[in-house]
Amino acid sequence: MFPDASTPALPLEIGTAELSARLQSAEPPLVAEILGRPSFDSGHLPGAVNLPLEGFAERAEREMPNKSAETVVYCASSTCHNSDVAARKLLSLGYQRVRLYRGGKAAWKEAGLALSVA
């Protein structure tokens, strides 16, 4: 599923159905919303932590210390690029299994899945 060490580090995408199933598995991925606190508080994917781009590296190290864990980042929708930036930053910080949920909260809601509220 993930590239080996000889492959350039690019985040792999994950779709709504796979992410939903992974979140219900015995070993769910770490999930991070890459938007500001007001957006996060209004509704976020189940189990997500809030990691806005401001202060990102320090927060990531504190909130997600296991760099070998599967990690999924997302933002508002496919037109929001915060998650792309965050995925590249995580890879540069040494996170090994970064996945990008490009559809974000919009795709999650469109699929009829519930958001958690803080």
Decide if 36 is inside a domain: yes
Decide if 78 is inside a domain: yes
Domain limits for position 91? 28-110
How is residue 24 annotated by DSSP? Answer: T
Q: What pLDDT is recorded for position 70?
A: 96
Decide if 90 is inside a domain: yes
CATH of the domain at 33: 3.40.250.10
Percent of the chain with pLDDT over 90: 90
Beta strands across the sheet bearing 97-101: 12-13, 97-101, 70-74, 30-33, 49-50
Percent of the chain with pLDDT over 70: 91
Decide if 18 is inside a domain: no
Alpha-carbon torsion angle 33, 34, 38, 41, nearest 10: 10
Domain count, the chain: 1
Total-model pTM: 0.89
Contact 51, 78 (CB under 8 A): no
Decide if 86 is inside a domain: yes
Decide if 117 is inside a domain: no
pLDDT in tens, 25-47: 999 999 999 999 999 999 999 99
Decide if 10 is inside a domain: no
